[in-house]
Structure 1
């Protein structure tokens, strides 16, 4: 997601800043974490910056007596790199996106979920009870879902964007006043989709074509950025930003002239999940955390506070109608049919990464 999607933009830029006073810290557990600190009255989680929610921590502690300490990250790759460096022995819950669940499975980084210890799986919408990235939720439960699209200033852009090609067609007007996500799969995927290909193309010619198209656009792009664009578009410095739907909801509520569109040729459909890593130090706490998230009233409260789309059907029913009817959070099926989940690319990931490095440099 989480975002992918309460934002800590400033925190993301200050890697040494501690948020432990409110339970959230920026990836600073570090090497001084030892077996002696793996106590069952503490739960360490690793989640997206976008999902920081002080109230959720308080609720968990009130229900279980456990203290939650959370580190945050702003990309799946950062999370995976830390896990592969040994952090799997620190955290009991992690929030990977759907395709990353598959990658983590391939790398044997996850613990299978014991469904008899989970309460409320039946509350999930049917589409999330047997997802393609993790059949029958054997290793993950969904936390948030959404799409990727374009947030634009409707006062200054009289012709609204309706597809990805708008960026190329209006390159002069958008020069240095638009941003794309700092995410190779999202940016390359959107360009591939615009060209009529799959987000998950494994055709070398198609991937190269997408890179060449992006190379044409590169001089006009202000930045490849996942977080900092928000303050800039609110201040009027940007006209358009590629972003996740959850972020778009929060910002458009603050400034209604900023509107979100899912491109007509299609976009990505993503789910951020909760998993238990192998060697999780607090297994009872990990299941207690997941069971808290599965409670319908908690799902509804979290959705309303963080402006995220809950995959919990029973929780959805408890949301105010104004949130249920928000088509940024909950797009109609006709839009979702054109969207595509990211999937692992195997050996082609190296090709995507090579083109991405060339583009950024």
Structure 2
């Protein structure tokens, strides 16, 4: 299927270090409707990951919106604006993988949440498990302003159970001052193990890591062939001694200081790093990678669905969304929000990749019963 993406310049925009974009070494400030924004990665309302309380009275729940999301998709300024408009307090908890989120929801630990941010393939899985409410589109403004690709996505036709809020790629982020070669493909990790020894990390994400290795071997990111999955596993076993860790987040200071030379990263995190330091470069591997969409959903167990709809509508306001995107550097699927972005962000190929890069990427999809093999091999790899 041909993808339709925003029109943009194909030239790489200059990486300018701006104090308004410094997210890793110091706090920074931006303005959203007159409210100061603070760094999501440093914590929101001092809430620790996965710490939302399920207790409290029904009345207390109705006055609170609990959100379960990835890091850097919202911040205190947005939460404050929502509270100012609705009188509803916001509590935001962070997870670092779709699988962690799903396990918590299945175990009954997520009954407090009215908004969750699953990725595309996890939306499919949660629909299959009958965990998501069917959305009332009459209560959501702006769905008709989405770019065409997201108006009828394959993972959730018609956006029946989810609405898109960001998209991006997965790739390699490296420090040019620490390497004497320019990584361009996944195979470079194996070919340069001596130089990268204990100075590189892979995501702590079974589907992303196994998918990347599968793709490097010429297979699909979503292979269900046991022989192909086993081959990818053995390839990872070869690389494991040279890895510093499996780490999805928290690598920024080490990469900026040179303790790490290369990390596998989501574009949403990598872009901010490249703007932080011009020696950092992000690349989508030549053999291909993942093209992901993250969404907002309302679980069937949501205690405050009306507040959830209000949160969705606030985020879909073009001015609000554009300000958050400019602050947190994720690609928006909302056309009017994209139109309001600064020109340097519109022209940033890391943020909005050209078609020739996107053509090499593949969305992560459910793999059915093969997930048991993925999980078993991942456990063996990470615990060895």
Q: TM-score if structure 2 supplies the norm length?
A: 0.87
Q: Specify the SS of the correspondent of 1:89.
A: coil
Q: Aligned equivalents of 2:48 and 2:251: distance in 1? A: 22
Which has the higher mean CA deviation after the structures are superposed, 301-310 or 77-86? 77-86
Q: Specify the SS of the correspondent of 2:207.
A: helix
Q: Specify the SS of the correspondent of 2:309.
A: helix
Offset at 1:20?
6.4
Q: Aligned equivalents of 2:184 and 2:97: distance in 1? A: 27
Equivalent in 186, 207, 218 of residue 196 of structure 1: 218
Q: TM-score if structure 1 supplies the norm length?
A: 0.92
Q: Aligned equivalents of 1:204 and 1:299: distance in 2? A: 42
Equivalent in 29, 32, 46 of residue 55 of structure 2: 32
- CA offsets 1:39-86 (integer angstroms, 9 cap, x no match): 2x3211111122241111112122222211111111111111111122
2:291 corresponds in structure 1 to: 269
2:317 corresponds in structure 1 to: 295
1:333 corresponds in structure 2 to: 355
Structure 1: runs of 5+ lacking an equivalent: 1-5, 9-17
2:342 corresponds in structure 1 to: 320
Report the CA distance shift for 1:31/1:287 in structure 2 as closer, same or farther (over 3 A). Answer: closer
Equivalent in 364, 370, 374 of residue 348 of structure 1: 370
Question: Is this contact kept in 2: 1:25–1:69, CA < 8 A?
Answer: no
Q: Specify the SS of the correspondent of 1:273.
A: strand
Offset at 1:228?
2.3
- CA offsets 1:189-210 (integer angstroms, 9 cap, x no match): 0000000000000101100100
Question: Is this contact kept in 2: 1:113–1:139, CA < 8 A?
Answer: yes
2:265 corresponds in structure 1 to: 243
1:65 corresponds in structure 2 to: 87
Q: Aligned equivalents of 2:64 and 2:163: distance in 1? A: 21
Report the CA distance shift for 1:349/1:7 in structure 2 as closer, same or farther (over 3 A). Answer: farther
Q: What do you get for the CA RMSD once the two structures are aligned? A: 1.7
Q: Following superposition, which runs of at least 4 residues in structure 1 exceed 4 angstroms of deviation?
A: none
Question: Is this contact kept in 2: 1:180–1:225, CA < 8 A?
Answer: yes
